[in-house]
């Protein structure tokens, strides 16, 4: 097995555990579930769920049935909810793997009831109500029909849930509207064991806690807010190796399309990170192109020219005295640049950065001695 990898992702499971316990402190009386979809936001499903389970996490949310099946291989006892609903023909797979679909329509509820009655199985599915995000879930005007459908069959369901649209801005008045609406829903479906509304940002809105909260990005150290400082510890760092270091002259062009012209003699580096690895070729309108940078031994190095499929070009002039050389690691995000700062410079959100970066990286873990590394 090769040990010199072009990209490295380090996952600090101790900080993950700290973040999880911070959510428990924020939400006393509510169970804290973990959203682990997209391979635990790119952090590695097996190691993340094992550590969270050791901290007392007993409920997990994934997006797809396939993710649920993968998680069930790692976790025999925890309850696993599948957010994207119940596709026809997958009922028996949910039973075999003991997965709980999050039902979003009358047809799904009908399928579930018919299957549970035929199999004499309690099931324990969730019901998703749309209180304002207008994505998945029952419309409010459908709740009367839903209540009638599940009457006498409540044992097939154990959770009613919804999702906040604007929790990343706690001052947004629509948060109060959705919370008030969901309190009414909770009263209407009071016979169900639990209710859940809050994700990471919603955990800071006390009336949104109910019986279960389900943080995602905050667990992994991303900032769930648009204009508040990050209350969580960073979990993920990403590094790429230098493939070449060379000196170019004032007036030279770099990259496809000769998109960047050097304004001075410069020390240039090429790193093993490109758009196929999640590093964007084009920045978003919200990006600050001049602030897209990586770090070499704590020194900032701007990304110049166009990002290629497998490589990016950086200006190492500020670190020339440190004599960067072939094979050295360059920080993409980590101690010098948080995932939030990287996301802001690119023009996206930390969720997108974390799930995209490092697709060809080797993971290493802090806080899990039994799992020194996993290959993606």
- What dihedral do alpha carbons 128, 134, 135, 140 form, nearest 10°? 20
- Strand pairing partners for 73? none
Catalytic residue among 147, 246, 253, 256: 256
Q: Is 156 a known active-site residue? A: no
Maximum C-alpha span of the chain: 78
Q: Is 246 a known active-site residue? A: no
Catalogue the active-site residues: 37, 256
């Amino acid at each position: 097995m090769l040990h010199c990898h072009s990209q490295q992702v380090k996952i600090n499971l101790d900080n993950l555990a700290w973040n999880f316990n911070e959510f428990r402190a924020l939400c006393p009386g509510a169970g804290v579930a973990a959203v682990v979809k997209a391979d635990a936001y790119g952090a590695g499903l097996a190691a993340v769920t094992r550590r969270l389970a050791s901290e007392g996490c007993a409920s997990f949310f994934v997006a797809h049935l396939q993710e649920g099946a993968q998680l069930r291989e790692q976790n025999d006892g925890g309850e696993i909810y599948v957010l994207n609903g119940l596709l026809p023909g997958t009922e028996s797979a949910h039973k075999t793997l003991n997965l709980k679909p999050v039902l979003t329509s009358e047809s799904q509820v009908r399928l579930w009831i018919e299957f549970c009655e035929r199999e004499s199985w309690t099931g324990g599915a969730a019901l998703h109500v749309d209180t304002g995000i207008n994505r998945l879930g029952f419309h409010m005007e459908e709740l009367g029909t839903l209540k009638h459908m599940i009457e006498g069959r409540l044992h097939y369901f154990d959770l009613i849930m919804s999702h906040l649209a604007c929790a990343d801005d706690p001052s947004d008045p629509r948060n109060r509207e959705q919370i008030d609406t969901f309190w009414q829903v909770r009263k209407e479906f009071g016979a169900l064991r639990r209710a859940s509304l809050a994700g990471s940002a919603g955990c800071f809105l006390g009336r949104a806690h109910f019986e279960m909260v389900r943080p995602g990005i905050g667990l992994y150290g991303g900032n769930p807010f648009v204009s508040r400082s990050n209350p969580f510890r960073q979990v993920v760092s990403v590094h790429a190796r230098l493939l070449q270091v060379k000196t170019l002259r004032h007036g030279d062009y770099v990259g496809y399309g000769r998109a960047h012209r050097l304004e001075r003699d410069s020390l240039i580096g090429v790193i093993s990170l490109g758009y196929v690895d999640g590093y964007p070729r084009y920045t978003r309108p919200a990006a600050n192109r001049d602030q897209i940078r990586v770090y070499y031994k704590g020194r900032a190095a701007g990304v110049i020219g166009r990002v290629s499929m497998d490589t990016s070009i950086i200006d190492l002039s500020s670190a020339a005295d440190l004599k960067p050389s072939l094979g050295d690691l360059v920080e993409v995000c980590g101690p010098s640049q948080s995932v939030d700062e990287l996301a802001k410079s690119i023009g996206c959100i930390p969720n997108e950065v974390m799930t995209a970066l490092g697709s060809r990286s080797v993971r290493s873990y802090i806080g899990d001695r039994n799992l020194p590394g996993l290959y993606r």
